[in-house]
Structure 1
Amino acid sequence: MQYRTLGRTALKVSRLALGTMNFGPRTGSAEAFAIMDQAVDQGINLFDTANQYGGALGVGTTETILGDWLASNRDKRERLVLATKVHEPMSDDINDRGLSARHIQMACEASLRRLGVDHIDLYQMHHIDRLAPPEEIWQAMDRLIAQGKITYVGSSNFPGWKIAQLNERARAQGRLGLVSEQSLYNLVERRAEMEVIPACEAYGLGLIVWSPLAGGLLAGPPAGGEGRRSAAGVQAAAQALGAKLQAYHDLCAGTGRDPGEVALAWLLAQPAVTSAIIGPRTGDQLTSAMRAEATPLSPETLAALDQIFPPCGPAPEAYAW
């Protein structure tokens, strides 16, 4: 496993991050435990979750499963960079959501209890809150840092302008500010190249990528009628991208590699990407992802992928002279 520093910090994280969103709704505790054991054994040290994950089992379920695993693996806790998120609704209470200082404090306390830890290494804002002033957000985050409950602050699904706004406010007060952005980015969805990636590069944020396989679109045809690739929305998107996906599958076949491996290897070849989140439902899926990390794509294959899925280019050049 290779590692990179997280943005402008000295913290080193694995090129692959273990995403836990499937734990609970789609992967039972026993298999989730086995996947986490395997991930650590393979050198993955960045575990990503969120307080809202749990699906039909209820918000907080995934953090609880991770906390149960940590309780039986105390020796592994200090080897992990543990990341979770705050913002999404946790109940019907009007204040049990968003990025108010009150909710940030309460949500962090609740995540610490579910995870069974005394601190969170990377506390990420799951989405922007247009009602929350930057000063209020930093007041809450500063308090949590001072209390030793979080170490670094990151964003997720932030546009470039919001990354700039929050980091300028932090810079004015002598704070470290945001150290990472977790963003949607893959061969099918490359709009992050327009403004999010340039903002990350300008402010020294590490880029953590989610949905590297575009919800399964880039993983090849579904097998056995199971998983997200069989969902109606994914099937409709696959039809809309029919010609491109066929060219993509033909290219992958020519390399002798699985389409999912190629998509993930492409992401890891992008200079701005610090880590790509994989969300395996099974141990076999984790093994496939590890092959992608271990075997880079050739320059010729990377160029061919850009021909099929053209880059967006930075703003404003992407849409103006």
Structure 2
Amino acid sequence: MQYRQFGRTGLNVSRLCLGTMTFGLQTEEEASQRILDTAAEAGVNFIDTANVYPLGGGEDLAGRTEEIVGRWLKGKRDRFILATKAVGKMGPSAWDQGASRKHLLDAIDASLRRLGTDYVDLYQLHSDDANTPLDETLEALDVIVRSGKARYVGVSNFLAYRLARALGRADVLRVARFVSVQPRYNLLFRQIERELLPLAAEEQLAVMPYNPLAGGLLTGKHKLDATPTTGRFTETVGKAGAMYQQRYWHQREFETIERLRTIVAPTGESLTRVSLAWVLANPQITSAIIGASRAEQLSDTLAASELVLDAQIKTQLDEASVEYRWGAAARLIARSAAPCSTRRAHDPSWPRAKRRASARRATRQAADRAHRPARRSDAAHRRQADTDRSTPGRPCDSFQRRCRAAN
């Protein structure tokens, strides 16, 4: 297992972080303990959980995952970097969720009780709370750090501009600064490459992405026309199953997976290992969060930390998934504007030079169709306006003539 410095902190964490959101619902406690044992034996020293876990358990089961992790950690707490999160709904009251001072101070105490420890190494905001003033949230987190209940603070699911603002306000207020960000990132979701990763590099933030295998879709075991019976796309995880289907269960994603299979096949490696190795190959990724419902399932995933991708294979994977750097709407516009060229641009059977030329041509054609008429129209109006202003006498006559002609 390889290790890396965690942002600008003094922590050194394993390249793979064990995610625990299945513990307590999809995975019973005994199986969860075996998964934790397997990860520890492989050298994983970084565990991520949250107060609302298990995934899909709702308020009734919220906190069960932390309890399972806490019981396993008894007697070996000092050997692991422990991260948890707050903000999610923990009860019926209005203040049982969010990033208010009241909720965060209550939530950290409750998490520490369930985890059976007096501190966590990393305390994260599970999501952005737009209803709470940012300064209130930052000051509450500073109290938590200064009290020794958390060593560092981080965020998850933050947009780049909100994270940038939070970092700026923390500097102004002279309070604890965020040291990490936990975004979604995989071959089927690359939007963070455009803004969030450059921000993280500039601010020296650790990046610990979740969903590196797209909820299991990048294992290649699912079929579009087959109803999933296990995993995160099923009703067994409640509303979360529908959320995962909305994220990834689309024809375009399955078509991309088939292209990825074609690229990976000559290597003799599994799509699972290559997909995870692709995430870790990004130099800005500190540690990727992996999960499993069985200890046996975890073994193949853990081996990916040692896999070094061939440069040519990585380039082909980049090109085959480049459209996922943009949002769904932008991808739809690009595909409808130049379907043939776009398809050729991502077809691994085409020589790389032709694919790149096709992609550039598709981009130019789409831009021309989208903008040229508007530019010509604007320019024509400006020229006519200049003519009107330079005409002596009654400059409004030409405008009236154009109106009559249009009607």
- Given the alignment of the two structures, is residue 241 of structure 1 paired with residue 245 of structure 2, yes or no? no
- Given the alignment of the two structures, is residue 266 of structure 1 paired with residue 278 of structure 2, yes or no? yes
CA contact (8 A) 1:221 1:229 kept: no
Distance verdict in 2 for CA 1:235–1:252, change over 3 Å: farther
Give unpaired runs (5+ residues) of structure 2.
Answer: 235-240, 332-362, 368-407
CA contact (8 A) 1:167 1:177 kept: yes
Partners of 1:311 and 1:167 lie apart in 2 by 30
**Matching of residues 3-42 of structure 1 within 5 Å:** 3-42=3-42
CA contact (8 A) 1:13 1:81 kept: yes
- How far does residue 292 in structure 1 lie from its aligned partner after superposition? 0.7
Mean alpha-carbon deviation: is it higher for 95-104 or for 195-204?
A: 195-204
- Given the alignment of the two structures, is residue 66 of structure 1 paired with residue 69 of structure 2, yes or no? yes
CA contact (8 A) 1:265 1:292 kept: yes
Partners of 1:194 and 1:235 lie apart in 2 by 19
Amino acid at match of 1:277: I
Question: Kindly, what percent of the aligned residue pairs are identical?
Answer: 40
Mean alpha-carbon deviation: is it higher for 121-130 or for 219-228?
A: 219-228
- Given the alignment of the two structures, is residue 227 of structure 1 paired with residue 226 of structure 2, yes or no? no
CA contact (8 A) 2:100 2:136 kept: yes
Query: How big is each residue's C-alpha offset from its partner over 1:14-35, in whole Å with a ceiling of 9 and x where there is no partner?
Result: 1000000011111111111111
Query: How big is each residue's C-alpha offset from its partner over 1:280-314, in whole Å with a ceiling of 9 and x where there is no partner?
Result: 11112221112111111110110010121016669
- Given the alignment of the two structures, is residue 123 of structure 1 paired with residue 127 of structure 2, yes or no? no
1:47 counterpart SS class: strand
Query: How big is each residue's C-alpha offset from its partner over 1:64-113, in whole Å with a ceiling of 9 and x where there is no partner?
Result: 11111122xx1x21111100001010011111000000100000000001
| Bigger share in strand | 1
Partners of 2:246 and 2:104 lie apart in 1 by 34
Of residues 251, 264, 274 in structure 1, which corresponds to 2:263?
Answer: 251
Partners of 2:173 and 2:306 lie apart in 1 by 41
Query: How big is each residue's C-alpha offset from its partner over 1:196-219, in whole Å with a ceiling of 9 and x where there is no partner?
Result: 111111211100000001112211
Provide the TM-score with structure 2 as the length reference: 0.73
- How far does residue 229 in structure 1 lie from its aligned partner after superposition? 5.6
**Matching of residues 193-232 of structure 1 within 5 Å:** 193-222=193-222, 225-228=229-232
Mean alpha-carbon deviation: is it higher for 160-169 or for 118-127?
A: 160-169
CA contact (8 A) 1:170 1:176 kept: yes
Give unpaired runs (5+ residues) of structure 1.
Answer: none
Provide the TM-score with structure 1 as the length reference: 0.92
| Bigger share in helix | 2
Partners of 1:235 and 1:99 lie apart in 2 by 25
- Given the alignment of the two structures, is residue 305 of structure 1 paired with residue 317 of structure 2, yes or no? yes
- How far does residue 222 in structure 1 lie from its aligned partner after superposition? 3.6
Partners of 1:246 and 1:229 lie apart in 2 by 19
Which 4+ stretches in 1 moved above 4 angstroms? 229-232, 311-314
CA contact (8 A) 2:145 2:176 kept: no
CA RMSD across the alignment: 2.3
CA contact (8 A) 2:19 2:48 kept: yes
Query: How big is each residue's C-alpha offset from its partner over 1:248-274, in whole Å with a ceiling of 9 and x where there is no partner?
Result: 112222211111111100000001110
Partners of 1:184 and 1:235 lie apart in 2 by 11
2:287 counterpart SS class: strand
- How far does residue 134 in structure 1 lie from its aligned partner after superposition? 2.2
Aligned length: 314
CA contact (8 A) 2:87 2:126 kept: yes
Partners of 2:290 and 2:197 lie apart in 1 by 20
CA contact (8 A) 2:125 2:154 kept: yes
- Given the alignment of the two structures, is residue 288 of structure 1 paired with residue 300 of structure 2, yes or no? yes
- How far does residue 220 in structure 1 lie from its aligned partner after superposition? 0.6
2:288 counterpart SS class: strand
- How far does residue 235 in structure 1 lie from its aligned partner after superposition? 11
CA contact (8 A) 1:18 1:47 kept: yes
- How far does residue 2 in structure 1 lie from its aligned partner after superposition? 0.8
In the alignment, what sits opposite 2:163? 163
In the alignment, what sits opposite 1:102? 102
- Given the alignment of the two structures, is residue 188 of structure 1 paired with residue 183 of structure 2, yes or no? no
Partners of 1:170 and 1:50 lie apart in 2 by 24
1:154 counterpart SS class: strand
Partners of 2:104 and 2:83 lie apart in 1 by 15
Amino acid at match of 1:66: V
CA contact (8 A) 1:194 1:313 kept: yes
